[in-house]
Every structure is written in structure tokens, then in C-alpha cells.
Structure 1
Amino acid sequence: MRKFVFTAGIILIFFAVLYAFLPLGTDKKVYKVGVLQFTSNNLTTLEGFKDGLSELGYREGEDIIYDFDGPASAKEDLVPYMQKLLDGQPDLIFVSPTPAATVAKQMTAGTNIPVIFAPVNDPVASGILKNMRTPEENITGVRLSSSDGRRLQYLKDVVPSVKRVFVPYSPDDKSAQTSLKMLEEAAPKVGVQLVKKPFFRDTDVLDDRSYVPVDVDAVLLPREGLVMSRIKDFVTLCIDRKLPLSTVRFKQVAQGALTGYGFNGYDIGKQSARQAHMIFSGSSISMLPVEVSEDYLFINLKTAKDINVKISDAILRQAHNIVR
């Protein structure tokens, strides 16, 4: 018994001495990721980002931790949210969409903190980047393809009777301005007229029934956070008035919009996770060009039935996702 205790004591002393002389640098790196989001539209994007990193071997709570207090509901909240993230000394900041990316760029300027955006409508037009092939400074990510004109065409293909399309937009949102430019270029070719109207934080499309004119044939939401954050209200209004509603996100078609042509936020999150992994592996931002998201056609057949719209089989065969 004494021999056993003596031997065990020697072993414990050996490992204690070994541990004491191990170099401090051998501690496993735990990455800290700050998350800045404007509105709750992109929560599924964050989910995809986390799952993508998990699949790449980063276990939450062990290899990686996320600093996220929830999305900012107002643009003026983005700066204090961002400052809190910076105070936490993150290894990387994940941001979405354009307003959050703009604030992150401004507040990390001159630092070596990498920033990944997912998604941004047009990073050059919004002033976030000058060169998407070899991003300067500390920011890269995933942008949306320039497909709002194609989405307008699909709206017309899904409901050929559409002639006047209502487009609410935030006047000071650069992403909204990019969407409007694409839509304005496409409208004459598609054969529709755009009816544009400013949208603000206090706009209530359900209380103000006159906000959406009675003589429009459809509603199309541009790619911007504020307007898309009211998707439930627009779905309620459009179903009540039997109006086709077009959006850019599959999630919002699943929530009741009739159709959409655009991106799957979860997939974009996983796409950006690969960029984060490359940064953690030692790649510099300039080695990571901005990637472009893939676009798909989405259709909600339940909503089509609710608003009395018959969609042709030819169109249904083109859809990537059909909600039944």
C-alpha cells in the first residue's frame, strides 16, 4: 500500500513539474466573434454562420464564443452596439446587412480586426469597399447579386396581369437606393410601372390603409432592412387585398409573400463561415475577394390560393423552393 501511494505521488509530481514548464503559447486558441445586426431579418444568416463554423470544427463554447446582444432595431443603436463589441476585444466581427457593415467599417478603420459582412447589397455603391477582388483594409464578405430586375420580371411571369408595382423604400438607405436603381432600369423592359413611396420607422401599413394605393396590382419590397423587417404587416395587407407580394428572401416567402427571387440567408451564413475559417487559419483580408450569393425563385402556393392567383406549371418547374 505504501509502495502504491509513493508511486502515485511520484507520478503526480512528475506531471505537475511537466505542466509548470510547458510554454504558455500551447494554450488552445478560443476565438471570440462579435456580431452586429440591424433588424431581425438576418437571424437565419447568423444561424447558418454558426452552423458553418461548427461543421468546420469550431465548437461553440470551446473553440469559439459569440458576443451578441440581439439585433439593433434602429440605426442609431448600431454605434453603441458596435462599441460594446469592440470593448470585448473580438478576434472577428460578423455583420449584416448594409447599415451594420457601414458602421463596422467606420469604427474599425485603422485596426487589424477583420470584419465579414453577410449579406450586403452592393459594397462598392454603399462605400464599404472600393475593390471587391482584393478588398483593402480589414473587411470582406458576401454580397447579393444584381438581380432585382430579374425579380421584377419573375413577378410579372408569376402574375402576368401585373402592371403597377408598389415599392416602399427608406430614403436614406443606400441598399434601398441600389435596389431602386435596378428596378427602375428593368421596369420599362418588363412592361410595368413602379409606384414608389418613402417608408419610415413610424409608418404603419395596417393602421394607415391609404399608404398602399388602391390602384396598384402588386407590392415589391426592396433589399433593405427596415422595410423587410415589416414583412408580417405587408403579408397581412397583401393577403387581405389580394395583392401579390414579392420579396428577396426565401424566409419571407415562407412567411406568406407570394413569390421572391433572391437568396437563402442560411446558405449565405454558411458561405461566410468559410471566409471566417480562412481568416482564423491565417489568410489576410486582401486574399479573400467578396463572394456573390446564389439566387433562386421561390413561390408560396398557399398564398397563391388565398389571393386567387393561378400559377402556371411552367413557372412552378423553375422554382427552387415551393411552399405548399
Structure 2
Amino acid sequence: MMMKKTILKTLSLGLLVTTILAGCGKTSSTSNEVIKIGISQIIEHESLDSARKGFVDALAENGFKDGEKIEIDFQNAQGDMAIAQTIAQNFVSQKKDLILAIATPSAQSAYNLTKDIPILVTAVTDPVKAGLVNSLEKSGTNVAGTTDAAPIDKQFELLKKLIPTAKKVGIMYNTSEINSESDIEQAKKIAPKYGLEIITTGISSVNDISQTLEALIPKIDVLYASTDNMIASSMPLISTKCTEKKIPIIGAVTAEVEGGALATEGIDYYKLGYQTGEVAIEIINGKRPQDMPITTLKDTELVINGDSAKKLNINIPEDLMKKATIIGGGK
């Protein structure tokens, strides 16, 4: 009788351990099964593409190469929220082990559909306001990762160094993107410190950009291009129109400077994505996203478009030239 009870206890303990391990899913580096990762990106532009590449490289450099220990399914919503929702639905129905959501709309789409699958986010400006996490210090949800909150204070300081006479700063933004609302709130708080006035105008699609700029440009001295994905992806068009009217653009991200903006003091999206990949490794190795913080990069990079400076007849101070990465030619 004692032997029977001992066997039953042993079997019960074994079943309990098996149940706990099963509850952890495949996100364990000791599992021989391939980990399925779905990547949802809201739109294609340099910053978001760089974040995705950084994420994939971080996984590969930590022993998780696509096609070996992991299987990556990349989907791009091309700026369409309905498509982003469909992508999220497919990832959930396919029972992905991890989801990487690049930019706020993709993150919200995924989070609205699953509270169980770990979601990694990157290029999300305000995860708390977006309803993705309880706090930056400790997620409290199935979401972990990084934020790309722009260092607007540094960018406005740069603005005044490059265009000392500037007083009115225009911000054009996508009315459906929470990232933009957060950037505008911060810009309005910081602007008085530099004697600046913020003038905002909203758009709902890329088709609105030309007409909206025509109305905005006469009212401003400088255009500030925020982390808004619609604006970032349309920078060649925006910079062309602004340059014609001799309106400088201060960008929030390097990709905007590459697209024709004058300058930025911003974060490196490749490094941000890489950092997100390192968070994914922690989750694969058993850490819970609920217990993790949302982090950002402390280091920023000064980037100046020399060609844009030349076209705008703006002389770059020598101290800035010495520490900046210069794109193109210029004076």
C-alpha cells in the first residue's frame, strides 16, 4: 500500500512539472522545437526597417538564426490599420510563440487580440498612453521591449543653434497615430524654454500632405518632423516642398535627415531594434514580459544633411560640424 502511494505521488509530481513546462510554451532555449516569431510592421521606411534588422541580428548573434532555432514570419501592413489587424489575427490563430510589433498601430493590433502570447514592441513612443503596458518601469502585461520617445529637448536646442531667429515651429501629424499626439504634447511643453511657438496641423492620409504643407508653410519658420510614421515615410516629398520655400526641417530620426531634413539629434533605430532582440532572448530563456521594463537608448547621434544646409543657405557652426555625422556635401 505504501509503495502504491509513493508511485502515485511520483506520477502526480511528474504531471505537475510537465504541466508547468507546457504552460511556458516553446519559449525555452532548451527546447528542440523551432520557435515561431511573427513580425508585424505598420509601414515601410528606413527607421522601422532598421529596427527590424537590428532585432533579427540580435537573435542571430545570440544563436537564434531564422530557419534554424527560430522561424520568422514578416508581414508589412503598408500603413493600413485594417491590414495590421488582419496580420495580428493571423499570428494569433497560427499560435506564434512571440510577436514583434514595430510601431504603435501594429502593437495595439496585436495586444487587442492576445494577452497570452508575449509581444515585443519597438518604435513605440508612449507604450503607457497607447494602453500596452501599466508602466515603463514594469510592464504588467504580456508586452515588453523598447520605446523610441524622441529627445525633443535636444532637438529644439539644435534647432535654435542652426536657426537662431526661428520662432514658429510647424508640426504636421497623422491624426490617428498616438505617437504623434505624445510628441506634440512634449513639444508644446518644451517649446517655451527656447522661445518657440508650436503650430500643428493634422492629416489623415499621404494624399493630404501637399495641400496641408501649402497652407502651413507661410505660417512657420521651421518644420519639426516627429516620429510620426506617415510623415517619416513621406519625407522626400515634404523636404522637396519645404526646401523650395526655404523652410528648414528638424527631424526626429536619422532617416528623416537622409530623406532631406536639415538635421536631427536622435536615436539609432538599428540599435533600438537590437536592444529589443536582446529582450526577446530573455523571454525565450524564460523571463516574463510582465516583470520587465520598457527601455530606450540613452545615447543620441547628431546627423546633419550638408546638401540641405547648402540649399537653404544655412551655415553649420563649427562645433556642430566636428561632432556630427554629415550626409551629402554642403559648405
Task: Pick the TM interval, shorter chain.
Answer: 0.7 to 0.9
After superposition, what is the alpha-carbon deviation per residue over 1:218-275, rounded to whole angstroms, capped at 9, x for unaligned? Answer: 1111222222221121121122222211221112212221111222111111110100
Q: CA deviation at 1:173?
A: 2.1
Q: CA deviation at 1:147?
A: 2.0
Q: Does the CA contact (< 8 Å) of 1:34 and 1:85 recur in 2? A: yes
State the TM-score, normalized to the length of structure 2. 0.84
Q: Does 1:187 align with 2:195?
A: no
Distance in 2, matches of 1:189 and 1:91, equals 46
Q: 1:278 aligns with which of 258, 279, 282?
A: 282
Q: 2:100 aligns to what?
A: 94
Q: CA deviation at 1:170?
A: 2.2
Q: 1:62 aligns to what?
A: 68
Q: Does 1:310 align with 2:315?
A: yes
Distance in 1, matches of 2:56 and 2:190, equals 36
Q: 1:85 aligns with which of 87, 91, 94?
A: 91
Distance in 2, matches of 1:27 and 1:139, equals 22
Distance in 2, matches of 1:44 and 1:183, equals 25
- Name which of structure 1's ranges 63-72 and 186-195 shifts more when overlaid on structure 2: 63-72
- Flag the 1:89–1:301 CA change in 2: closer, same or farther, 3 A: same
- Flag the 1:46–1:220 CA change in 2: closer, same or farther, 3 A: same
Q: CA deviation at 1:140?
A: 0.8
Q: 1:119 aligns to what?
A: 123
Q: CA deviation at 1:87?
A: 2.2
| Matched-pair identity in % | 24
Distance in 2, matches of 1:146 and 1:256, equals 19
- Flag the 1:204–1:134 CA change in 2: closer, same or farther, 3 A: closer
Query: Which residue type is aligned with residue 93 of structure 1?
Result: I
Query: Which residue type is aligned with residue 49 of structure 1?
Result: F
Q: Does 1:104 align with 2:99?
A: no
Q: 1:131 aligns with which of 119, 131, 135?
A: 135
Query: Which residue type is aligned with residue 176 of structure 2?
Result: D
Q: 1:200 aligns to what?
A: 204
What are the equivalent positions in structure 2 for 1:130-279 lying under 5 Å apart? 130-145=134-149, 147-206=151-210, 210-279=214-283
State the TM-score, normalized to the length of structure 1. 0.85
Query: Which residue type is aligned with residue 210 of structure 1?
Result: E
Structure 1: gaps of 5 or more residues: 1-24
Count matched residues.
Answer: 297
Structure 2: gaps of 5 or more residues: 1-25
Q: CA deviation at 1:202?
A: 4.8
Q: 2:23 aligns to what?
A: none
Distance in 2, matches of 1:238 and 1:260, equals 16
Q: CA deviation at 1:35?
A: 0.8
The structure with the larger Rg is 1
Q: 1:293 aligns with which of 287, 293, 297?
A: 297
Q: 1:52 aligns with which of 24, 46, 58?
A: 58
